[in-house]
């Protein structure tokens, strides 16, 4: 199985923590040059220094805020002039929890901007390069809510579904150029986002954080909450040459929790 990414360059969004950081570390361990994107330059420098360089990789970073998609696109365009990219990992922190009926229009605009609009602009930036390189992998880290909407996650469920359909549509258009577009759907994964969701749930239902954490783990057939590294392994496989005939699909990484196919 060919998992070698030596010579390939990957852009990994939201890569200073959680699944984004774990994905960057995994791709670098497979030989890829990795370009990190996030808002916090200090953390970007820290993670870039931690990336594997055994294949003589040249890692880098771009400071950008996904609430400003125009600026994000401009910075990525400048970067692409001298740095051809074959792999794009779209990953952005999800909207806060809450009932759909309580959501204000601004919450949808913010979520769609940071997820769907930024994904679109980044894809438009990198796909011409991927076509020239004859190799492209676009991987979107979304949520199992794409398959089974989660309670109290109104804006998130809506936005994630839109991103999944965007990705499937794009996969048809780019497949002839050896470019694939796939979605990784994390279930309960121990990240700062899940911790904040569990804290919100604890306050809402009158339980302690540890009680809610135990209840969350009990909902998973595997009997535990997953790790960012386990999700990153799926991301890295889809980025590899071995996944060249996998296109336009959703892969849950959830310990078996999602109750439908």
The domain segmentation of the chain, as residue ranges, is 9-187+227-252, 188-225
pLDDT at 192: 86
Rounded Cα distance between 159 and 47, Å, is 28
pLDDT at 217: 93
The answer to whether the pTM exceeds 0.75 is: yes
9-187+227-252 is a CATH 2.50.20.10 domain: no
Rounded Cα distance between 89 and 28, Å, is 13
Picking from 111, 75, 106, the residue whose alpha carbon sits closest to that of residue 93 is 111
Q: pLDDT tens for residues 63-117?
A: 999 999 999 999 999 999 999 999 999 999 889 999 999 999 999 999 999 999 9
Burial 127-154 (b: 16+ CB within 10 A, else e): bebbeebebbbbbbbbbbbbbbbeeebb
Q: Using only the alpha carbons of the chain, give its radius of gyration.
A: 18
Collapsed DSSP state (helix, strand, coil) of residue 26: helix
Q: pLDDT tens for residues 122-140?
A: 999 999 999 999 999 999 9
């Amino acid at each position: 199985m060919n998992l070698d990414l030596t010579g390939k360059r990957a852009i990994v969004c939201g890569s200073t923590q959680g699944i984004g950081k774990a994905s960057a570390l995994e791709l670098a361990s497979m030989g890829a040059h990795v370009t990190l994107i996030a808002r916090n330059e200090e953390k970007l420098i820290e993670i870039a220094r931690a990336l594997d360089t055994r294949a003589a990789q040249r890692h880098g970073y771009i400071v950008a805020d996904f609430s400003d998609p125009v600026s994000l696109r401009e910075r990525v365009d400048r970067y692409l002039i001298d740095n051809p990219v074959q792999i794009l990992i779209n990953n952005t922190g999800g909207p806060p929890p809450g009932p759909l009926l309580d959501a204000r229009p601004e919450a949808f605009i913010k979520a769609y901007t940071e997820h769907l609009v930024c994904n679109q602009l980044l894809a438009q930036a990198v796909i011409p390069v991927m076509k020239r390189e004859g190799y492209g992998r676009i991987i979107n880290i979304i949520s199992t809510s794409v398959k089974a909407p989660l309670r109290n996650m109104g804006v998130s469920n809506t936005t994630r579904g839109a991103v999944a359909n965007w990705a499937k549509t794009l996969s048809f258009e780019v497949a002839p150029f050896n470019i694939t577009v796939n979605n990784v759907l994390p279930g309960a994964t121990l990240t700062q986002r899940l911790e904040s969701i569990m804290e919100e749930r604890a306050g809402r239902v009158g339980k302690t954080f540890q009680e809610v954490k135990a209840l969350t783990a009990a909902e998973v057939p595997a009997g535990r909450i997953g790790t960012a590294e386990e999700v990153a392994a799926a991301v890295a496989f889809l980025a590899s040459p071995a996944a060249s005939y996998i296109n336009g699909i959703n892969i849950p990484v959830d310990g078996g929790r999602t109750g439908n196919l």
